Structure 1
Amino acid sequence: MSETLTDAELDEIERRCEAATGGPWTAFVEGRDHFGGSSIVRTAGEDIEMSGASEADYDFIAHARQDLPRLLAELRALRAASRSRSVRELGGEIWSELRRLPESDLRWDVNEAVVDIVIGVLARHVGSMLLNDADLPVEPLPPRE
């Protein structure tokens, strides 16, 4: 297993979360949260009772139902922001390199179109609209056939 979770692995974790009994889940530990009976994890469905679990185990399992979907959403949002920022930086770098060309080699109308195409291709790989150097939106180009 690699250190970085793949999108497929995140999808598997998300499927397990979605397949589990609905939340919220709450730990009710006998002697701490109530007296008499057993320790349980209360769910939107049937309560979960475990053998040999510590208070920390009950708390961890109960909170995982709410925490994992939130962590997945946060991770996906951070990845998307990171990809978008990287693509925008690449687009800016390409634009900077074009601007370094001698004035005689520049046809700004063509070069701006080239940059928009490059940014459009990068946006296609990120899966979202990006902004060009003038902060104007560039839609992802459709997939090549």
Structure 2
Amino acid sequence: MTDTPMTPDRLSQIQNRNLDEVTDGPWLVADGSGGRPVVYVETLRDGRTGARVLLSADGASEADVQFIASARQSVPELLAEVDRLRRALSEAAAWLVRAGYPVDWSAHEPPPDALREAVVDAVHADPTGTVHGGELTRDEVAAWLAVEVRAFAHPDGEPTP
């Protein structure tokens, strides 16, 4: 695992994998011939239940096979949660910008990076340009906003202890 945020391009690559073409789940695990684990789906034909093997996992551990089988349901659920959380963060940052909330980035306890980045994105994406005139790059917005917020929070130039 990494603490590095996933880039929008990487997230888009994962989201654009066509899950509609992947066999519907749930995917299940069982011992196949020779004790090799297999990933399968249950089938129903002519009123009779059967199974279709999707993957025979020679040399894979039970944990590996369980992980592969669970990914069919977990990946779409995780992608939906990433979308939900990113929308929520974006909405919160946009609300802060609209409300004129003074976020002091130089305070004793700075805001979380994700919130700071979301606020910069919200200011930069302001379609009216009322906040910064619509002439600044994202990096310029970040620098400008840091200066403006510091000046607003510390009008006498005194930083917060």
Shorter-chain TM-score category?
A: 0.5 to 0.7
- If each structure's strand is expressed as a fraction of its own residues, which one has the higher value? 2
How far residue 62 of structure 1 moved from its aligned partner, in angstroms, is: 0.5
How far residue 123 of structure 1 moved from its aligned partner, in angstroms, is: 9.0
Q: CA RMSD in A?
A: 3.5
Query: Identity over the aligned pairs, expressed in percent?
Result: 28
Kept in 2, the 8 Å contact 1:28–1:40? The answer is: yes
Kept in 2, the 8 Å contact 1:26–1:42? The answer is: yes
One-letter amino acid of the counterpart of residue 66, structure 1: Q
Deviations 1:18-44 (A, max 9, x none): 2762221423232xxx89764211147
Rounded to whole Å, the distance in 2 between the matches of 1:4 and 1:55 is 30
Q: 1:20 to 1:3 in 2, by over 3 A?
A: farther
Rounded to whole Å, the distance in 2 between the matches of 1:20 and 1:58 is 21
Rounded to whole Å, the distance in 1 between the matches of 2:88 and 2:8 is 15
Give the structure 1 partner of residue 39 of structure 2: 41
Q: Give TM-score scaled by structure 2 length.
A: 0.49
Give the structure 1 partner of residue 90 of structure 2: 83
How far residue 11 of structure 1 moved from its aligned partner, in angstroms, is: 1.6
Kept in 1, the 8 Å contact 2:29–2:69? The answer is: no
Map residues 45-64 of structure 1 onto 2, 5 A cutoff. Answer: 46-64=53-71
Give the structure 2 partner of residue 103 of structure 1: none
Give the structure 1 partner of residue 100 of structure 2: 93
Q: Give TM-score scaled by structure 1 length.
A: 0.54
Kept in 1, the 8 Å contact 2:37–2:58? The answer is: no
Give the structure 2 partner of residue 65 of structure 1: 72
How far residue 8 of structure 1 moved from its aligned partner, in angstroms, is: 1.6
In the alignment, structure 1 residue 8 sits paired with structure 2 residue 9: yes
Gap regions ≥5 residues in structure 2 = 43-51, 103-121, 129-133, 135-161
Give the structure 1 partner of residue 125 of structure 2: 125
One-letter amino acid of the counterpart of residue 75, structure 2: L
Rounded to whole Å, the distance in 1 between the matches of 2:59 and 2:34 is 17
Q: 1:69 to 1:24 in 2, by over 3 A?
A: same
One-letter amino acid of the counterpart of residue 52, structure 1: G
Equivalent position SS for 2:11: helix
- If each structure's helix is expressed as a fraction of its own residues, which one has the higher value? 1
